[in-house]
Amino acid sequence: MLIRKCVGFRLKIVPESVSIKPSRTLRISSSRNSKRRIKIDVYEPPRKDGTSERKPLPVHVNFHASGFVLPVHGVNAEICVHWCRTVGCIVLDVDYAKAPFYPAPSALEDALDALEYVASRPDLYDISRVTLGGFSSGANIAILASLWTKAKLTVKGVIAWYPPTDLMRTGKPQMSGSFFNAIHRCLRQSYMPPGTDASDPRISPLFAPSELFPPLTLIVGSKDKLVVDSVELHKKLEADGVDCVLSIVPNAGHAWEWFNNPKHPLWKERVAALDLMERRMKLAMDL
């Protein structure tokens, strides 16, 4: 019940009159498990000319938050519609394998399969203008997919909201005794069973070579236990000359953008964060 409520929850990012249902849903094969299918919700921008055909459009590939465990694909439906309307690109909202049945690096492998699908359809997608993004665990997956894809496409940028970038640690040391941190450890242990090397750059992007990174935008709250993950990755990439923008939202925690009250104290900050993401996506896509 709670999961269904999360998936259907609207944030008032787009008007209530605007449908947030996907234009269509795909199921592509997993390259690692022939019995599995990877679900992809496709969101397309409104057609301005009223025709049924159009040229390939830039595409943004999104990966939802889940703690690497929770089956909440579809939770970003409203924001996917927002990107279609403001950026003018196609948005693919990709589901991925969840722990504990599919531990690391299964989620990354599904993300790589999704990018191979995009590359296989240049008739639908402008494969020279692809961006990736996600939230929390999904942001981790988006960054990793941009680093390790061998698909014949160009990842022009990644927008990552509060990603875990170093899974060797649990976040801010001063929060190590918190209830949230206990939940966090439980989720990570499901994703990384005993014997998993958390320093593997296919799990923790902080340890990947800087030269592999496309332009990156990091959005995180100052009170988020994962803020150090973004700060350290930004510090590393900036020192190595990579285009990396870090936006730290004052007084915001994890998943801080999840509210729908215009009087919320972080309403303006959310508008600003969405505007930053729109600018960075348009810059990456040359729009």
Whole-number pLDDT of residue 174? 43
Nearest by Cα to 144 from 54, 88, 209, 60: 209
Residues 6+ apart with CB under 8 A from 186: none
Provide the edge-to-edge strand list for the sheet that holds 125-135: 24-29, 37-43, 90-94, 57-63, 125-135, 155-161, 216-221, 244-249
The DSSP code for 100 is: T
Percent of the residues in the chain that have a pLDDT greater than 70, as a whole number: 90
Beta strand ranges found along the chain (DSSP E): 24-29, 37-43, 57-63, 90-94, 125-135, 155-161, 216-221, 244-249
**What average pLDDT does range 86-96 have in this prediction?**
98
**What average pLDDT does range 121-127 have in this prediction?**
98
Is the pLDDT reported for residue 1 higher than 50? no
Cα separation, 13 vs 19, whole angstroms: 12
AA letter at 148: W
Q: Which fold has domain 2-285?
A: Rossmann fold (3.40.50)
Whole-number pLDDT of residue 186? 77
Beta-strand relationship, 37-43 and 90-94: antiparallel
Cα separation, 175 vs 223, whole angstroms: 10
**What separation, in Å, do the N-terminal and C-terminal C-alpha atoms of the chain show?**
40
**What average pLDDT does range 80-103 have in this prediction?**
97
- Token pair in block for residue 225: 């236990």
Instruction: Give the model confidence (pLDDT) of 203-233 as tens digits.
Output: 999 999 999 999 999 999 999 999 999 999 9
Is the pLDDT reported for residue 173 higher than 70? no
The pLDDT mean for the chain works out to: 92
Is the pLDDT reported for residue 260 higher than 70? yes
Let me know if 141 is exposed, middle or buried by CB neighbors in 10 A (0-12, 13-18, 19+): buried
Nearest by Cα to 61 from 117, 109, 11: 117
Whole-number pLDDT of residue 54? 79
Percent of the residues in the chain that have a pLDDT greater than 90, as a whole number: 84
Whole-number pLDDT of residue 47? 79
pTM for the complete prediction? 0.93
Instruction: Give the model confidence (pLDDT) of 133-172 as tens digits.
Output: 999 999 999 999 999 999 999 999 999 999 999 999 754 4
Whole-number pLDDT of residue 188? 79
Residue 253 banded pLDDT, cuts 50, 70, 90:
very high
AA letter at 278: E
Please report where in the chains the tokens 């299964």 appear, as a residue: 106
Whole-number pLDDT of residue 169? 79
| Cβ neighbours, 10 Å, residue 124 | 17
